[in-house]
Amino acid sequence: MVSSVPDTSISTTGSSSSAAIKNSPNYSNVVFLKQLGEQVFQQNMKKINAEFLTITYGSLVKVLIDHYKDDVEKCNQKLKEMGKNIGSRLIDDFYSKVTTQIPRCNNLKDLGNTLSLVAFKLYLNCVPKFLFDEEEKIIKLRFDNDINIFSKFVELPDEYKNKRLYYSNIIAGIIEGALSGIALKSDVIYFSDTLLGDPFSEIHIANVKRIKDEVPMGQ
Amino acid sequence: MTFKDSIGDLFGYDPVSGPQIVDLVNLNKDEDILSAFNDTDNIFNSNEITNTVSVSYAPTNSITSTKVSSNNQITAEKQFNVQGEVSTSAYIFVLLEFIKMVVVDCTELEDHDQKLREIGEDVGFKLLELVKFKSTVPAILPTAVLNEKLLTYKHTSNIKNSSSVDISQTPKAVDIYKHIFLTSSLSSKNIQTSNTSLKDLKKLSILEFIHGPIWRYMFGKKADDIQQLKNNSLEYIIIDNDPLLSSLVLTSQINEFICGIIKSCVVNSGFECFEVTAHVMEKDDPDWPNKTVYVIKFVK
């Protein structure tokens, strides 16, 4: 468990010049992040119909379930693995679009705010509610009101409900992959899902740890 | 003592006499209802539905069922009107990862393109139903627009000014609905509501439906042209000068996917289709290096 929050900067650039920190706007300002997400989404991103993504994702998950012959645990694992692959590529895309404007994350709250207000806004055009567990240092992202784009139009059969198929588990994988891309190790769990009858969908990000830079062997 | 006596004279639904039939004309005259209709503080009247109203996890017990149904209408309206957009890169990330899964993991398959085409057919079937439904049913109007239309109707027919109630002058509910739907400009952003029928009877009409509404639903623009190949009257082509997805990555695989979508749209409309193939015309036009032609072969 990490008791100490990563105190230094955690951006990909890695440079810790004091001038950059001074010039950067106040990070606790949630409104700034909101505006940033909105602005970048409107200006920099090419857009496509959200329902088309939903329908395509549904068919693809169906293929996955067929391939693993109804083995739900393997499906969950595979979805998360695929998410990790996506995330490791997505983080580059993300920084190429916002890095000049985005301020540094100084603690876990900043990280959570950036995830929900900028990252989710940019790619899925939805903003999950960010909750922070002070005691256990867990970042919680809660999808209210069915705003999760992947699970629109979806109803799971009872068979998969009982085996707990996390339909949009790919999001958890994406977050984990993306965080590992900026040298942060974490455990991301799809905690609950409205499709399985839970009151809300929630993603938990726990054990966020900074990977220390190590000199490669032989240098 | 009847059942009605026992419950007293409550306002609302009367189980003995059954549901009350209320004419829209009577509603128009009722001042209370009109004022409630015009009340801007009432959340059910607002154009923008707030995020707080939701039925996602409202209990479906019998006690609260009436409340839930009213909320349900609102979310249905919301889903109908609001066309969300996501970034193209998110779509491509997901699609590419699954193409990779099909190619790498399904080793027992010899023909991966066939599998991708099957996925496309699955998507196309759902797309056809959804777009057909959206384009044939007129968009649900926001309450404020409905109000305006109702007021203009009253103004022209002068119900208020007539001193005595003349049955021949008062409009029927049907007339009012007609007035509302004919005068309102139904302009949805991505789909044309006009010129769409429930079923396409000609080959050309289904091709036009794919070329217009479905293409616009998927890629946000129309395809560029439909042509018939001269020699064979059963072969048609749909031309897209600047394809959105397949011009970026893995052209052949994504084209297989789109061919699957087109094929299942044609087949599920009741036509026999032999196959759909895609060809990239690189040297055809220097302005459009990614120009793609989808050839649709019908069976006679």
- Predicted pLDDT at A9: 42
- Predicted pLDDT at B40: 59
- Give the residue-averaged pLDDT of B59-69: 37
Beta bridge partners of A139: A132, A205
Least confident of A82-96, B104-118, B192-206, B266-280: B192-206
Least confident of A121-135, A149-163, B187-201: B187-201
C-alpha count within 13 angstroms, C-beta hemisphere, residue B256: 15
Q: Searching chain B, which residue's CA lies closest to the CA of residue A56? A: B123
Which of B53, B71, B79, B87 is the best substitution to test chain A (most A C-beta atoms within 10 A)?
Answer: B87
Contact B87 A123 (CB under 8 A): yes
Contact B56 A146 (CB under 8 A): yes
DSSP string, chain B: --HHHHH-S-SS--TTT-SPP--HHHHHH-HHHHHHHH-SSSGGG-SSPPTT---TT----STTHHHHHHHHHHHHHHHHH---EEEHHHHHHHHHHHHHHHHHH-TT-S-HHHHHHHHHHHHHHHHHHHHHHHHHSPPPPPHHHHHHHHHHHHHHHTTTT-SS--TTTSPPHHHHHHHHHHHS----SSS--TT--SS--SHHHHHHHIIIIIHHHHHSS--SEEEE-SS-TTEEEEEESS-TTTTTS-HHHHHHHHHHHHHHHHHHTT--EEEEEEEE-TTT-TT-TT-EEEEEEE--
Contact B86 A200 (CB under 8 A): no
Confidence of residue B41 (pLDDT cuts 50, 70, 90): low
Q: Residue A21 pLDDT more than 60? A: no
pLDDT in tens, B122-149: 999 988 888 887 776 655 555 555 666 6
Confidence of residue B271 (pLDDT cuts 50, 70, 90): confident
Find the CB nearest A59 among B79, B93, B122. Answer: B122
Mean pLDDT (chain B) is 68
Chain B closest CA to A73's CA: distance in Å?
Answer: 17
Which of B53, B56, B244 is the best substitution to test chain A (most A C-beta atoms within 10 A)?
Answer: B56
- Give the residue-averaged pLDDT of A109-121: 87
Contact B102 A63 (CB under 8 A): yes
- Predicted pLDDT at A173: 93
Beta bridge partners of B277: B295
Compare B171 and B105 and report the one with higher pLDDT. Answer: B105
In chain B, which residues have their Cβ closer than 8 Å to the Cβ of A123? 86-87, 89-90
- Give the residue-averaged pLDDT of A27-48: 79
- Give the residue-averaged pLDDT of B102-107: 79
Confidence of residue A41 (pLDDT cuts 50, 70, 90): confident
In chain A, which residues have their Cβ closer than 8 Å to the Cβ of B93? 86, 89-90
Query: Quick one: which of A83, A118, A123, A116 has its CA closest to A99?
Result: A118
Contact B87 A46 (CB under 8 A): yes
- Predicted pLDDT at B272: 87
- Predicted pLDDT at A80: 92
- Predicted pLDDT at A175: 92
Find the CB nearest A124 among B86, B97, B219. Answer: B86
CA angle A202, A83, B278 (to 5 degrees): 125
Q: What is the DSSP letter of A206?
A: E
- Give the residue-averaged pLDDT of B176-180: 63
In chain A, which residues have their Cβ closer than 8 Å to the Cβ of B101? 63-64, 67, 78, 82
- Give the residue-averaged pLDDT of B146-174: 54
- Predicted pLDDT at B264: 92
Which of A49-53, B20-24, B28-32, B143-147 is modeled with the greatest confidence? A49-53
- Predicted pLDDT at B79: 43
Compare A11 and A168 and report the one with higher pLDDT. Answer: A168
Counting residues of chain A whose pLDDT is more than 90, the rounded percentage is 15
Query: Quick one: which of A187, A10, A41, A190 has its CA closest to A127?
Result: A41
Which of A52, A57, A118 is the best substitution to test chain B (most B C-beta atoms within 10 A)?
Answer: A52
Compare A193 and B179 and report the one with higher pLDDT. Answer: A193
Q: Residue A85 pLDDT more than 60? A: yes
Which of A41, A43, A48 is the best substitution to test chain B (most B C-beta atoms within 10 A)?
Answer: A48
Q: Residue B69 pLDDT more than 90? A: no
Residues belonging to chain B with any Cβ–Cβ distance to chain A shorter than 8 Å: 51, 54, 56-57, 79, 83-91, 93-95, 97-98, 100-102, 105-106, 115, 119, 122-123, 126-127, 130, 190, 217-220, 244
- Predicted pLDDT at A172: 92
pLDDT in tens, B215-247: 888 888 888 888 888 776 788 888 888 888 888
Residues belonging to chain A with any Cβ–Cβ distance to chain B shorter than 8 Å: 41, 45-53, 55-60, 62-64, 67, 78, 82, 85-86, 89-90, 93, 122-126, 144-147, 149, 152, 170, 194, 199-200
- Predicted pLDDT at A174: 92
- Give the residue-averaged pLDDT of A40-46: 83
- Give the residue-averaged pLDDT of A130-150: 84
The interface predicted TM-score (ipTM) is 0.81
Chain A closest CA to B177's CA: distance in Å?
Answer: 30
**Separation of CA B202 from chain center:** 22
Mean pLDDT (chain A) is 81
- Predicted pLDDT at B82: 47
- Predicted pLDDT at A16: 41
Contact B98 A60 (CB under 8 A): yes
- Predicted pLDDT at A31: 80
